[in-house]
Amino acid sequence: MRAVVIGAGLGGLAAALRLQGRGHEVTVLERRERPGGRAYQIKDAGYTWDTGPSLITMPWVLEEAFAAGGLDLRSEVELRPLDPHYRIFWAGEQRHLDFSSDRERMKQEIARFSTRDAASFDGFMAALKPIYEQGILDAGRRPFLRARDLAAFTPSMLKLGAALPLYRFVCRHFEHPRVREAFSFHSLFIGGDPFRVPAIYGALVYLQILDGAWYSGGGTYSLVEAMARPLDVRCGARVERIERSGGRVSGVVLAGGERIAADVVVSNADVLGTHELLGRPTPRLRATPTMSAFLLFLGTDRTFPKLLHHTLLVGHGYRDFITAVTRSGELPSTFSTYIHAPSRSEPGMAAAGGDSLYVLLPVPNLRSGIDWRAAADGLRDRLLADFEASFGLSGLEASVRVEHRMTPADFERELGAVDGNAFATEPTLHQSAYFRQPNRDRRVGGLYYVGGGTHPGAGIPGVLLGAEITTKLIEEDRAAVAA
Ligand SMILES: Cc1cc2nc3c(=O)[nH]c(=O)nc-3n(C[C@H](O)[C@H](O)[C@H](O)COP(=O)(O)OP(=O)(O)OC[C@H]3O[C@@H](n4cnc5c(N)ncnc54)[C@H](O)[C@@H]3O)c2cc1C
């Protein structure tokens, strides 16, 4: 069988590895200069920045994806556990909270805010355990192609409270506002508003405590390089059209006109834009994309020891901030951000004596109409001033030697992300499982999907588990035709 994978994001690479591992002929077509998609990398003047995923969870999912392609993860990359996973600071709050896999330490951290909440921690984890087992280990590894798949899954999820908004679920267990925020923000990692996503995404907290947070030597991009190495990845190859014949895919056409024949096409391109590749009109009711992100990559001439490898800085008015970026389409007036400082674990990621800082600020996607050419400079200045004033990173602005940035307009232009979304389709209740873009196209034979916009969803483990589901479907469909 000849398979074409459109896009060399982590999901596309994982699907290609699995198909190649099964003996199929696979070509990956990538529109950018290098593979990786959202998991890209910038290097400049001795500084190295990952531009997308930086927190690695569920390493066994990576192990399985590598093994399916004949690779041994541990010999390909150097995975190191991080302890603590990250530190959370709140503006105007003296206390911080360290997240860790050590449950006793976790309780001590919580106790600095509320001893009652510390006592509730075990109950919280126990409540999440079946949600993780049924929602991730089971449902995250099988397709939701039919309504009856959903019907079979829903009653137990309802019983476990997994359909409640995540924040409300967390409030049932914890009373202190800071603890509630610390145990519900994780859905933001995949573009989900903690006040709206179903508590099934609380499994993200659970799995992190269960399996830890990891760093890959050289940055997350080392995973991309290892995955791409054994594959035929053609970069600078933008697919313009998926060709069909008799209701089945027959190949793809590249910008420039080259045609590549295929028995199976796996699209890792944005699922919200698939209609364009198929020459279909834009659907009237289209799924809602997630928020976007404003990313700053700063190379500094000194270090900022206050920052750990991963640090979260939660500003005043956190809930209003989330509403502004997810619903109101407004630039936030206060900032809640994530900062990655890989040089804390691997000094070689920054020029001598400095830090390579990657700042992630969630912002509205392009549906907001914000003109990023006009807005970006001012936002960058306000953000750095806020870091200095609210979080004690004084001297940051003056220390910047090299700087890059990525705005929602870049997400759209560089990655083909519809409306400049950062995390694909929003993970709300009515856009999850059966209601998400299925892994196999409902109308076109031989067309499959992989990546953040399809089931089970975004995040490194999400897209890798999705690649497992998609490639299993391909094999099952082939077996059914052969029978
Ligand atoms: C800022 C940021 C931070 C994140 N942090 C984390 C984190 O810490 N941990 C975590 O687990 N996850 C994180 N994520 C989520 C994770 O990075 C993504 O869910 C995942 O990398 C997406 O993979 P994907 O398979 O959907 O492919 P994508 O990364 O979306 O790549 C798709 C590829 O397809 C290519 N393409 C699109 N259209 C075409 C076409 N027509 N022809 C050819 N090629 C095409 C694109 O150029 C791109 O390379 C983060 C995401 C972002 C944006």
Residue nearest to atom 22 of ligand 1 (CA): 452
Q: Is the pTM of this model over 0.95?
A: yes
CA gap 64, 18 in Å, rounded? 10
Mean pLDDT score of the chain: 95
Give per-residue pLDDT as tens, 344-358: 999 999 999 999 999
Stretch 105-120: mean pLDDT: 98
Stretch 251-275: mean pLDDT: 96
Stretch 113-135: mean pLDDT: 96
Ligand 1 contact via 29 beta carbon (within 6 Å): yes
- Residue 415 CA, ligand 1 centroid: distance in Å: 8
Q: What is the pLDDT of residue 400?
A: 98
Ligand 1 contact via 13 beta carbon (within 6 Å): no
Q: Which of 188, 231, 220 lies closest to 70, judged by CA?
A: 231
Q: Please check whether the domain covering 2-41+221-284+429-482 is classified as CATH 1.10.10.10.
A: no
- Residue 288 CA, ligand 1 centroid: distance in Å: 17
Ligand 1 contact via 451 beta carbon (within 6 Å): yes
Q: Is the pLDDT of residue 266 over 90?
A: yes
- Residue 53 CA, ligand 1 centroid: distance in Å: 8
Ligand 1 contact via 6 beta carbon (within 6 Å): yes
Distance of CA 266 to the CA centre of its chain: 19
Q: Is the pLDDT of residue 368 over 80?
A: yes
Q: Is the pLDDT of residue 322 over 90?
A: yes
- Residue 40 CA, ligand 1 centroid: distance in Å: 8
Q: What is the pLDDT of residue 180?
A: 98
- Residue 39 CA, ligand 1 centroid: distance in Å: 6
Atom number, ligand 1, closest to the C-alpha of residue 466 = 25
Q: What is the pLDDT of residue 75?
A: 97
Q: Which residue has the higher pLDDT, 178 or 435?
A: 178
For CATH 3.50.50.60, list the domain ranges present in the chain.
2-41+221-284+429-482
Atom number, ligand 1, closest to the C-alpha of residue 14 = 25
Q: What is the pLDDT of residue 282?
A: 81
Ligand 1 contact via 427 beta carbon (within 6 Å): no
Q: Is the pLDDT of residue 29 over 90?
A: yes
CA gap 60, 63 in Å, rounded? 5
Fold of the domain spanning 81-217+289-415: Polyamine Oxidase; Chain A, domain 2 (3.90.660)
**Phi, psi at residue 191, to the nearest 5°?**
85, 20
Q: Is the pLDDT of residue 285 over 80?
A: no
Residue nearest to atom 24 of ligand 1 (CA): 451
For CATH 3.90.660, list the domain ranges present in the chain.
81-217+289-415
Q: What is the pLDDT of residue 130?
A: 95
In DSSP terms, 42 is beta-bridged to: 49
User: Dihedral (C-alpha) 343, 348, 349, 353: value to the nearest 10 degrees?
Assistant: 60
Q: What is the 3-state secondary structure (H, E, C) of the chain?
A: CEEEEECCEHHHHHHHHHHHHCCCEEEEEECCCCCECCCCEEEECCEEEECCCCCECCHHHHHHHHHHCCCCHHHHCCEEEECCCEEEEECCCCCEEEECCCHHHHHHHHHCCCHHHHHHHHHHHHHHHHHHHHHHHHHHHCCCCCHHHHHHHHHHHHHCCCCCEHHHHHHCCCCCHHHHHHCCHHHHHHCCCCCCCEHHHHHHHHHHHHHCEEEECCCCHHHHHHHHCCCCEEECCCEEEEEEECCEEEEEEECCCCEEECCEEEECCCHHHHHHHCCCCCCCCCCCECCEEEEEEEEECCCCCCCCCEEEEECCCHHHHHHHHHHHCCCCCCCCEEEECHHHCCHHHCCCCCCEEEEEEEECCHHHCCCHHHHHHHHHHHHHHHHHHHHCCCCHHHHEEEEEEECHHHHHHHHCCHHHCCCCECCCHHHCHHHCECCECCCCECEEECCCCECCCCCHHHHHHHHHHHHHHHHHHHHHHHC
Residue nearest to atom 39 of ligand 1 (CA): 269
Ligand 1 contact via 418 beta carbon (within 6 Å): no
Q: What is the pLDDT of residue 477?
A: 96
Q: What is the pLDDT of residue 240?
A: 97
CA gap 216, 48 in Å, rounded? 13
Stretch 76-101: mean pLDDT: 97
- With tokens 């992300």, the residue in question is 417
